[in-house]
Amino acid sequence: MEMTEVTGVSLKRGSLAVEGSDSMAPAEEAKRQKVLDSCLPTVQDGLEHGSPPTSGHVPGPPEAVNAGQGRKNSDVQLEEEEEEEEDGLSEEAEEEEEAESFADMMKHGLTELDVGITKFVSSHQGFSGILKERYSDFVVHEIGKDGRISHLDDLSVPVDEEDPSEDVFTVLTAEEKQRLEELQLFKNKETSVAIEVVEDTKEKRTIIHQAIKSLFPGLETKTEDREGKKYIVAYHAAGKKALANPRKHSWPKSRGSYCHFVLYKENKDTMDAINVLSKYLRVKPNIFSYMGTKDKRAITVQEIAVLKITAQRLAHLNKCLMNFKLGNFSYQKNPLKLGELQGNHFTVVLRNITGTDDQVQQAMNSLKEIGFINYYGMQRFGTTAVPTYQVGRAILQNSWTEVMDLILKPRSGAEKGYLVKCREEWAKSKDPAAALRKLPVKRCVEGQLLRGLSKYGMKNIVSAFGIIPRNNRLMYIHSYQSYVWNNMVSKRIEEYGLKPVPGDLVLKGATATYIDEEDVNNYSIHDVVMPLPGFDVIYPKHKISEAYREMLTADNLDIDNMRHKIRDYSLSGAYRKIIIRPQNVSWEVVAYDDPKIPLFNTDVDNLEGKPPPVFASEGKYRALKMDFSLPPSTYATMAIREVLKMDTSIKNQTQLNTTWLR
Q: Which of 486, 643, 660, 649 is nearest to 12 (CA)?
A: 649
Q: Which of 121, 128, 131, 99 is nearest to 17 (CA)?
A: 131
What is d(CA 120, CA 137) in angstroms, rounded to the nearest whole number? 24
Q: Which of 338, 331, 163, 162 is nearest to 257 (CA)?
A: 331
Q: CB–CB of 533/555 below 8 Å? A: no
Enumerate the β-bridge partners of residue 261. Answer: 304
Length of the chain counted residue by residue = 662
Q: Which of 339, 364, 370, 340 is nearest to 350 (CA)?
A: 364
Helix (H, G, I), strand (E, B) or coil at 324: strand
Q: Which of 160, 568, 528 is nearest to 331 (CA)?
A: 160
Kind and range of the H or E run holding 316: helix 311-316
Enumerate the β-bridge partners of residue 288. Answer: 306
Enumerate the β-bridge partners of residue 349. Answer: 625
Cα–chain center distance at 42:
27
What is d(CA 85, CA 83) in angstroms, rounded to the nearest whole number? 6
Which amino acid, residue 566? Answer: I
Q: Which of 140, 103, 133 is nearest to 18 (CA)?
A: 133
Tell me if residue 295 is catalytic.
Answer: yes
R_g over Cα of the chain: 27
What is d(CA 515, CA 521) in angstroms, rounded to the nearest whole number? 10
Which member of 137, 272, 295, 504 is catalytic? 295
Residue 149 DSSP code: B
Q: CB–CB of 181/42 below 8 Å? A: yes
The number of beta carbons lying within 10 Å of the beta carbon of residue 600 is 17
Q: Which of 636, 529, 546 is nearest to 582 (CA)?
A: 636
- Please count the CA atoms within 13 angstroms of the CA of 251 that sit on its side-chain side: 18
List for the chain the helix, strand, coil content (%; round to 5). Answer: 40, 15, 45
The number of beta carbons lying within 10 Å of the beta carbon of residue 67 is 24
Q: Assign 3-class secondary structure to 289-300.
A: EECCCCCCCCEE
Sign of the alpha-carbon dihedral angle for 334, 336, 339, 345: positive
What is d(CA 481, CA 116) in angstroms, rounded to the nearest whole number? 12
Tell me the residue ranges of DSSP E strands in 47-191.
119-120, 130-131, 138-143
The per-residue b/e assignment along 460-498, b for 16 or more CB within 10 angstroms, e otherwise, is: ebbebbbbbbebbbbbbbbbbbbbbbbbbbbbbbeebeb
The number of beta carbons lying within 10 Å of the beta carbon of residue 263 is 26
What is d(CA 276, CA 660) in angstroms, rounded to the nearest whole number? 36
Q: Which residues are catalytic?
A: 295
